[in-house]
């Protein structure tokens, strides 16, 4: 299984909800076992730069690749990219 975790910061605070709502569209892509988009609670003062976290689980690398190849992924990326400041991604393989 692959855990796909993406952290976003948004350039303008007023766009956080727009970005979150746009990222929710990725949940329509059928290749993930689990898909979540959440706001960062910013409880830890060391992580206050991250606004939104996308968390998804995929059966394998092929499922993750199919997810990224879906037209919804490209559409969402083009919509979100101009509003984001930072994007960090990690893909963790777990047994």
* pTM summary value: 0.93
Q: What pLDDT does 44 receive? A: 86
Which CATH number covers residue 66? Answer: 3.30.70.100
Q: What pLDDT does 87 receive? A: 97
Q: What pLDDT does 16 receive? A: 98
Count of domains forming the chain:
1
CA–CA distance, 5 with 23 (Å, rounded to integer): 13
**Quick check: is 86 in a domain?**
yes
**Domain of 61, in residue numbers:** 2-41+55-93
**Quick check: is 48 in a domain?**
no
**Quick check: is 76 in a domain?**
yes
HEC assignment per residue over the chain: CEEEEEEEEECCHHHHHHHHHHHHHHHHCCCCCEEEEEECCCCCHHHCCCCEEEEEEECCHHHHHHHHHCHHHHHHHHHHHHHEEEEEEEEEECC
Q: What pLDDT does 24 receive? A: 98
Per residue of the chain (95 residues), give pLDDT as tens: 999 999 999 999 999 999 999 999 999 999 999 999 999 999 988 778 999 999 999 999 999 999 999 999 999 999 999 999 999 999 999 98
Q: What pLDDT does 45 receive? A: 80
Q: What pLDDT does 47 receive? A: 75
């Amino acid at each position: 299984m692959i855990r796909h975790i993406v952290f976003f910061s948004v350039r303008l605070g007023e766009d956080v909800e727009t970005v979150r709502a746009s990222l929710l569209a990725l949940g329509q892509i059928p290749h993930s076992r689990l898909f979540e988009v959440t706001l960062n609670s910013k409880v830890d003062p060391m992580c206050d730069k991250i606004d939104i976290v996308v968390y998804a689980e995929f059966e394998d690398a092929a499922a993750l690749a199919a997810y990224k190849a879906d037209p919804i992924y490209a559409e969402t990326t083009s919509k979100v990219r101009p509003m984001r400041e930072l994007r960090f991604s990690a893909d963790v393989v777990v047994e």
